[in-house]
Structure 1
């Protein structure tokens, strides 16, 4: 297997997803128009997106020694993701989510069983993977685990943070890429001007900030003043489940492809690339089945 260029650290789950016309009331039964069983989790889904886009990637996560954990690992391996950094915790239950998507607006309710904690102290394979990768991307559960071992990674790491979910005690010093939603950015810095809030994140230590803003697209700012702005391409939207996770995996892939010269536009080109991928992934009920490959993404951008 090709050595991973990106390592994604955090949550890997098994998801059960149903779509209904409306949420059931107490003691009410509703008929689902569709039901899907698959893999989820911010870090794991981001890794699947990166691999689908041609970037060799690995997942570092913890699962239980149960059937759900076996399925989580096998699904990732089937996508071509390096799973050598996944720890199987004896006696633990793997994280699982039940997701119900309701109505034309595709609102969703998520019920999650939290999986085993991720501890990278003494996890030599995880340190090896991060030392060899060009990017290490963390979600809300991966950040603290990586923070605790960051000084032990040979050569240091280029850190990207998915900050869409709250991360208690989050520090941005030494962060190469800070990637919150607009709502998360405003929770941290207060409601106000988006550009000013991105600048505040830069002042707190981030080298670059990329903010997702739902159907309005995404915006970015680098410490050197370079800006990015991208609107979503036209696509049939079925569900936004996992779109942010896909966006982050595609953003890492886009930045690597921009470095290689296989996409144009540098930082702004990578943000546009990720916006297209995240949008196109919304054609499926789940977060993974409709992630496009590189060629389909470039066709969408050309249109």
Structure 2
């Protein structure tokens, strides 16, 4: 059984470093999806920053954490707007690489009110990599926590001279990560669907979390959409955390918001069950906005510290 390397009850005062994707999203709200060769009038339209690691950084910043984002952007207008949006939230962007040879990731997203679903047309995010030395390595070496999405994982794991098990590492495993193992990951946050894909759909949620613990994760928080989340730390029993009822305009970015709020709460010292509940409330509130960020609450985690669980 894996021995937990970190203490979820001990607050971390350092930087939370988020590594991976950032895009600029143009989002339209319609009643029904457009048909071919049609003209559809949108109920609302907005442009906002998106993608897993960048949106998680904003959610953590709004929860009071000191955050930094590291990714790769072009030297285009989209990259400029992403940087200014993150900086407006107080996110440190000093480790972002601006590469004139690439185009910044961008998406056009159509959200359907009728089906409460979305369709995404995206320009791929540039590959994420960093020099062996420099500002990224400085932040990596000093961060209290490092959170990675599916592109950030490879950027961190492949950095010369770095041992991932030397970090307090939080992993967003909502998207597939080739050759990934949760070994030595302090906070592993997949979906239940991802765990089923990895370990077999014949297992119940508790057994799936145990599989991830057996594979080397110190703690696992597995999200399950409208069913809430499952939490397990070390050899303690799995705990189900119910979903928070939501008024849904769009679920765009809700999972990314969950990841950022969860890490901010863990870093602030909340027990893991309380951190998962806090993250669920935050993600639910974000669904009231068309984009993934505008309705993320600005809030203090301090009041939630009064609740004390044993996970």
Equivalent position of 1:149 in the other structure: 159
Equivalent position of 1:134 in the other structure: 144
Give the number of aligned pairs: 293
Secondary structure at the counterpart of residue 178 of structure 2: coil
Report if the CA contact (8 A) 2:64-2:301 is conserved.
no
Equivalent position of 1:79 in the other structure: 89
**Residues 1:230 and 1:105: Cα distance change in structure 2 (over 3 Å):** farther
Secondary structure at the counterpart of residue 126 of structure 2: coil
Q: 2:287 aligns with which of 259, 282, 289?
A: 282
Instruction: Tell me by how many angstroms 1:152 deviates.
Output: 2.7
Report if the CA contact (8 A) 2:156-2:164 is conserved.
no
Secondary structure at the counterpart of residue 284 of structure 1: coil
Whose helix proportion is higher, 1 or 2? 1
For 1:1-303, list aligned pairs within 5 A.
5-149=15-159, 151-152=161-162, 156-191=166-201, 192-258=203-269, 263=270, 266-295=271-300
Structure 2 length-normalised TM: 0.89
Structure 1 length-normalised TM: 0.91
Instruction: Tell me by how many angstroms 1:235 deviates.
Output: 3.2
Higher relative contact order (CA 8 A, sep 6+): 2
Secondary structure at the counterpart of residue 247 of structure 2: coil
- Separation in 2, partners of 1:63, 1:151: 25
Instruction: Tell me by how many angstroms 1:92 deviates.
Output: 1.3
- Separation in 2, partners of 1:184, 1:154: 22
- Separation in 1, partners of 2:139, 2:235: 29
**Residues 1:74 and 1:229: Cα distance change in structure 2 (over 3 Å):** same
Report if the CA contact (8 A) 2:206-2:238 is conserved.
no
**Residues 1:228 and 1:205: Cα distance change in structure 2 (over 3 Å):** same
Secondary structure at the counterpart of residue 94 of structure 2: strand
Instruction: Tell me by how many angstroms 1:298 deviates.
Output: 5.6
